[in-house]
């Protein structure tokens, strides 16, 4: 059995640095008493401090310590707990940290991450000169609310409680049973918070003729209950995460996906292809298949996609380069092949159309053929005889181009459109591929 630990206070720093009468000393003493009561292994315990006077507290304890940025203590604590779920993680922050880090507080509670938060709530910013905080009472006089605070104070406990915190307590630094409450919080597996009201003797007390009596009266006047306000038994997040991923252990990590050459391409020079279509028209997946088919045929390929910030509306333009050698520059100013298959796509390629010359080819659907002026050869698909559903248009026209421009064997594209696809999608793709035969025969040069 290990010898009993009689204090967790640091022997080199016996005296706190806080102002006379400051509540921080009281709360830290209560925390020490709770740790003594629990006899936690200091090596399994970490105090994470926020900024402000409270941020000096970790230096006065002999446990692991991390002192981080203002408002972000909960994020470091979450990272520590996620990486080492067995640790007891205690966060010390002020009402200032609650304000600036409110988002983290909400999410730590909602996630129910197993950390214990002690809010040293002295109703104003004690370190920077007594400015108002999110918990300054209505009417409170501070350096930044000289005429009295107009804002409503934040109900910290209700906020974390309604978002799923496992343990919530409101009290004051003067509470006699605080060590026991803090100990209960630390023993709670999930997210636990104690909102501990205190006196800031440097600022809030003199500015508002405040004392312990007014502190309690303020709490009462706001209708804020004291004591343990919530105990729930939701799953603790770090442990829940570990449990959730157990069955994934040992699966192949980022496995290679080799693309083997099975066909031959007669393509002599690098060929730059642009597919200009509409979002939702399978332009990107078609471009992937086009590139993959090239790789099956021994070519190098690149694919760049361009689309607006929305994904399911507007244009979708994909650029594919096929080459016998590795491709460095991936842009296309002057396509060898430009497929225009929707008005949205057409609107994106005027520059390329202007750049193209007679050695290059524009493939276009009949409805857009008259809108295109170019020096390039124009090939219009005949879609009347072989109606192709809109969703299959990109693939059908691309397949027709693979044949017409003799990029590589159609078999390679057939294999590419089925690779990794579920049976019904593969069938759909194959139908589009077959349609390409008809629209190709009817090609008008």
Site for other proteins in 70-89 (CB under 8 A): 72, 74-84, 86-87
Query: Minimal distance in Å, beta carbon 72 to other proteins?
Result: 5
Footprint on residues 15-44 left by other proteins (CB under 8 A): 42-44
Query: Minimal distance in Å, beta carbon 187 to other proteins?
Result: 18
Among 11, 248, 370, 445, binds other proteins (CB under 8 A): 248
CB of 321 or CB of 432, closer to other proteins: 321
Footprint on residues 146-165 left by other proteins (CB under 8 A): none
Around Cβ 147, how many Cβ atoms within 10 Å?
7
Q: Does 257 contact other proteins by CB under 8 A?
A: yes
Q: Is 15 strand, coil or helix?
A: coil
CB of 186 or CB of 435, closer to other proteins: 186
Three state DSSP letters for 386-433: CCCCHHHHHHHHHHHHHHHCCCCCHHHHHHHHHCCCCHHHHHHHHHHH
Among 33, 36, 67, 426, binds other proteins (CB under 8 A): 67
Q: Which helix (H) or strand (E) holds 296?
A: helix 283-296
Query: Minimal distance in Å, beta carbon 289 to other proteins?
Result: 11
Torsion over CA of 220, 225, 228 and 229, rounded to 10 degrees?
A: -160
Site map 228..247 versus other proteins, x via CB under 8 A: -------------x--xx--
Q: Does 11 contact other proteins by CB under 8 A?
A: no
Query: Minimal distance in Å, beta carbon 92 to other proteins?
Result: 14
Footprint on residues 260-279 left by other proteins (CB under 8 A): 260-261
CB of 156 or CB of 439, closer to other proteins: 156
Among 27, 31, 34, 46, binds other proteins (CB under 8 A): 46
Query: Minimal distance in Å, beta carbon 182 to other proteins?
Result: 20
Per DSSP, the residues of 24-72 read: HHHHHHHHHHHHHHHT--GGGEEEEE-SSGGGGGGGGBSSEEEE--TT-
Query: Minimal distance in Å, beta carbon 177 to other proteins?
Result: 29
Footprint on residues 168-187 left by other proteins (CB under 8 A): none
CA dist 17 → 60, 166, 231, 368, 403 (Å): 10, 33, 34, 78, 81
Footprint on residues 289-308 left by other proteins (CB under 8 A): 291-292, 295, 299-308
Cα–Cα nearest to 114, from 171, 186, 208, 178 = 186
**Pairing status of strand 88-94 against strand 124-125:** unpaired
Query: Minimal distance in Å, beta carbon 308 to other proteins?
Result: 7
The residues, ordered by sequence, that sit 6+ positions from 208 with a Cβ below 8 Å of its Cβ are 140, 141, 214
User: Which residue carries 């991923």 as its tokens?
Assistant: 245
Cα–Cα nearest to 392, from 311, 400, 328, 372 = 400
- Longest Cα pair distance anywhere in the chain, in angstroms? 93
Among 162, 216, 259, 418, binds other proteins (CB under 8 A): 259
CB of 82 or CB of 443, closer to other proteins: 82
Counting residues that bind other proteins (by CB under 8 A) gives 73
In the DSSP assignment, the letter for residue 321 is: E
| Alpha-helix residue ranges (DSSP H) falling in 156-211 | 156-162, 178-187, 204-208
Footprint on residues 327-356 left by other proteins (CB under 8 A): 327-331, 333
Among 2, 20, 258, 370, binds other proteins (CB under 8 A): 258
Among 5, 19, 66, 404, binds other proteins (CB under 8 A): 66
Q: Is 118 strand, coil or helix?
A: strand
Cα–Cα nearest to 74, from 193, 184, 243 = 193
CA dist 229 → 153, 176, 193 (Å): 18, 17, 10
Query: Minimal distance in Å, beta carbon 259 to other proteins?
Result: 5
CB of 251 or CB of 370, closer to other proteins: 251
Among 9, 104, 282, 414, binds other proteins (CB under 8 A): 104
Query: Minimal distance in Å, beta carbon 319 to other proteins?
Result: 9
CB of 74 or CB of 278, closer to other proteins: 74
Q: How far apart are CA 135 and CA 204, in angstroms?
A: 12
User: Which residue carries 């994909």 as its tokens?
Assistant: 318
């Amino acid at each position: 059995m290990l010898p009993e630990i009689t204090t967790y206070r640091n022997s080199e720093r016996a005296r706190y640095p806080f102002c006379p009468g400051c509540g921080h000393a009281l709360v830290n003493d209560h925390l020490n008493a709770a740790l003594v009561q629990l006899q936690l292994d200091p090596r399994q315990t970490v105090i994470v401090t926020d900024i402000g006077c409270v941020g000096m507290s970790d230096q006065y304890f002999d446990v692991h310590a991390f002192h981080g940025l203002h408002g972000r203590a909960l994020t470091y604590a979450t990272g520590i707990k996620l990486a080492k779920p067995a640790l007891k993680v205690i966060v010390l922050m002020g009402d200032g940290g609650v304000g600036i880090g409110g988002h983290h507080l909400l999410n730590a509670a909602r996630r129910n991450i197993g950390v214990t938060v002690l809010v040293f709530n002295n109703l104003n910013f004690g370190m920077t000169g007594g400015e108002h905080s999110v918990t300054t009472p209505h009417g409170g006089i501070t350096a930044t609310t000289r005429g009295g605070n107009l804002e409503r104070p934040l109900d910290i406990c209700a906020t974390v409680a309604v978002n799923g915190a496992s343990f919530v307590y409101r009290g004051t630094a003067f509470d006699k049973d605080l060590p026991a409450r803090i100990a209960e919080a630390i023993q709670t597996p999930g997210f636990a918070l104690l909102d501990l009201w205190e006196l800031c003797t440097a600022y809030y007390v003199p500015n508002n003729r405040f004392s312990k009596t007014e502190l309690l009266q303020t709490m009462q006047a706001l209708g804020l209950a004291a004591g343990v306000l919530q105990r729930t038994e939701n799953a603790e997040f770090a442990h829940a995460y570990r449990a959730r991923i157990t069955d994934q252990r040992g699966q192949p990590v980022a496995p290679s996906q080799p693309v083997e050459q099975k066909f031959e391409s007669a393509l002599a020079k690098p060929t730059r292809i642009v597919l200009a279509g509409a979002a939702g028209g399978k332009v990107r997946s078609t471009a992937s298949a086009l590139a993959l088919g090239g790789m099956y045929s021994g070519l190098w390929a690149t694919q760049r996609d361009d689309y607006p910030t929305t994904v399911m509306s507007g244009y979708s333009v994909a650029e594919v380069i096929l080459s016998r050698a590795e491709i460095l520059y991936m842009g296309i100013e002057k396509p060898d092949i430009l497929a225009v298959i929707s008005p949205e796509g057409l609107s994106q390629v005027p520059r390329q159309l202007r750049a193209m010359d007679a050695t290059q080819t524009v493939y276009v659907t009949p409805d857009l053929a008259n809108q295109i002026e170019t020096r390039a050869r124009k090939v219009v698909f005949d879609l009347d005889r072989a109606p192709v559903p809109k969703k299959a248009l990109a693939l059908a026209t691309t397949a027709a181009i693979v044949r017409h421009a003799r990029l590589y064997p159609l078999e390679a594209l057939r294999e590419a459109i089925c690779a990794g696809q579920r049976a019904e999608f593969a069938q759909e793709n194959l139908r589009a591929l077959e349609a390409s035969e008809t629209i190709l025969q009817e090609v008008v040069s």
